[in-house]
Structure 1
Amino acid sequence: MSLGPTREPVAQQIVGIIRELGLHPGDAMPTERDLIDRLRLSRNTVREAIRELRAWGIVDIRHGHGTFVASPSLQALAPTLVFRTLVAGPEGLDALRNLARIREILETSAIGEVAEVLSEEDRTELDRLCDLIGDPETSADADRRFHRLLYNRVDNPLIGQLVDVFWEAYNEAHDQLAEVVQHGQDSVAAHRRIVRALTAHDRQEAEQAMHAHFDGIYARLDDSRAGFSSAPVGDGSTA
């Protein structure tokens, strides 16, 4: 089907073609020539639209193989969230706090369900990650894996994806805006309290433990000094 010129943005027209053809993640997209013929637009216009779709995480471009429908992901949000935080100027730390606040809302609203579905295998892994969170060399990676694991088993997969996106945005922006405050043992204790509550299947205590965890994050932000003119500071800001 040839769509012809239309006021609808070209990228949205291509999304319409994906839906019309019933394509799924991993399926090959129509060729560039096919899209040009369908849309009756120039090669440059079609290529620019494909670049937009790639930036949105809708298509993958595999050099030497072609363009494919991407697996659904919210990761494309992270760079935008980081940019919005970094350009906030003197209010950068407030913007950083806002990112943490969104995470707190998401995580405390879902942690009660985690308390009901946590497996023994998950608990063992969370304990191991708590040990790694206490080591400056492994703290950031272990913290991200800790929070990812928490929401692996909840019914709504969007919760885990959003938590991970906001974790990435917060930590990347934090490294560029705030002085790293050493807090290894405090962070370990906060995470262990969460694990204890989940092990006891105590929804209320799990929610309180998660709130307390974020209270610690806010306190460390208050102790940080903005460093807008400095180079990225490296990790250590487990959250």
Structure 2
Amino acid sequence: MNRLAAGRSDGPGGSPRIRSRGTGNVAVERIQELILAEGLTPGDAMPTESALCERLGISRSSVREAMRTLASLDIVEVRHGHGTFVGQLSLAPLVDGLLFRARLDDGNDLRALREVIELRIALDLSVAERLVERYRDTTNPELEGLIAQMRDLASAGRPFPEADAAFHTALFSCLGNRLLRQLAQAFWEIHTVAVPLLGLPPAEDILDTVDAHHAMLSSLEAGDAGAYREAVLAHYRPLGRALDAAASAQAAQDAPTRTPTG
């Protein structure tokens, strides 16, 4: 028998009812099982609080506590005045937790951000061959338009996080691995949020980053995986230099001041 089917029985009106399993706080697990059993997908409406209490055999307070937990994991989304829906199931909460753990370990925000950047680089490099297969001998006006938008903003001294995110999302859209795309997007979000919070100075060579985006696309269209990898590394060099400068400034600030003797 199917594992999900084994864990439920018919409720009133023939609707599936999730059977109670053991004692303790298992509301979170039961609600997740209900989402799977019902075949709900991101954006679908969840049963009402009363219906969940009835079908899962748990109290209203347990449902509310479970919903708060599931909302923090982006498994459900509470829209005030409209109800509760299945969330987007993104990996941002996971990466946010990893970033917080890195900061908690030693309190070094710069090191935590550098580790996130290293993971982004690893992801971008890991798909080089697959991207080359998809983009070789193609033209991509959408991506070219995003690069032009980034260049205009950078020339005006303005940041371009939205265009940057759209570029990377579109670049990976041809890959069938949805989890990979979500992970890349989650790392990008943490990276983008962390940079201004850490007070890093804007890179003076931000136009180099724009040129790197162009080089990434041109290399893929030319079928040159090696050139794409070099462009990926060039893409992150300005931020790496900014991190190095911030680390040096922090070290100088933390260094003990010597008192002249004589």
TM-score by length of structure 2 reads 0.75
Pair 1:148–1:23, CA change in 2 (3 A): closer
- Identity percentage over the alignment? 33
Alignment CA distance shift 1:156-1:88 (3 Å): same
Please name the residue that 1:186 is paired with. Answer: 208
Is 2:126 aligned against 1:109? Answer: yes
Q: Please tell me the residue identity of whatever aligns with 1:224.
A: A
The 3 A distance-change label for structure 1 pair 150 and 59 is same
Q: Deviations over 1:50-108 (max 9, x none)?
A: 11111111112222332222243223335434534554555221111100000001011
Give CA-to-partner distance per residue, 1:12-43, whole Å, 9 cap, x none. 11111222233333332222112222333321
Distance 1:151 1:208, change over 3 A: same
Kept after mapping to 2: 8 A contact 1:129/1:145: no
SS at match of 1:224: helix
Kept in 1, the 8 Å contact 2:143–2:171? The answer is no
**Aligned residue in 1 for 2:223:** 201
- 5+ residue gaps, structure 1, are 228-239
Partner Cα distance (2:127, 2:61) in 1: 45
Q: How does 1:1-239 map to 2 (within 5 A)?
A: 1=17, 3-4=19-20, 6-7=23-24, 9-84=26-101, 86-87=103-104, 90-118=107-135, 119-120=138-139, 121-132=141-152, 134-135=154-155, 136-182=157-203, 183-225=205-247
Aligned-residue offset at 1:130: 4.1
Aligned residues between the structures: 227
Tell whether the 8 Å contact from 2:96 to 2:190 is kept in structure 1 after alignment.
yes
CA distance 1:2–1:143, change in 2 (3 Å): closer
CA-based RMSD: 2.5
State the alpha-carbon separation in 2 of the partners of residues 8 and 90 from structure 1. 33
Alpha-carbon distance in structure 2 between the residues aligned to 1:40 and 1:193: 58
User: What residue identity is the alignment partner of 2:193?
Assistant: E
Between the aligned partners of 2:175 and 2:127, the Cα distance in structure 1 is 8
Unaligned runs of 5+ in 2: 1-16, 251-262
Task: Give deviations 1:175-203, integer Å, cap 9, x for gaps.
Answer: 11242133222222322322321231211
Structure whose CA Rg is larger: 2
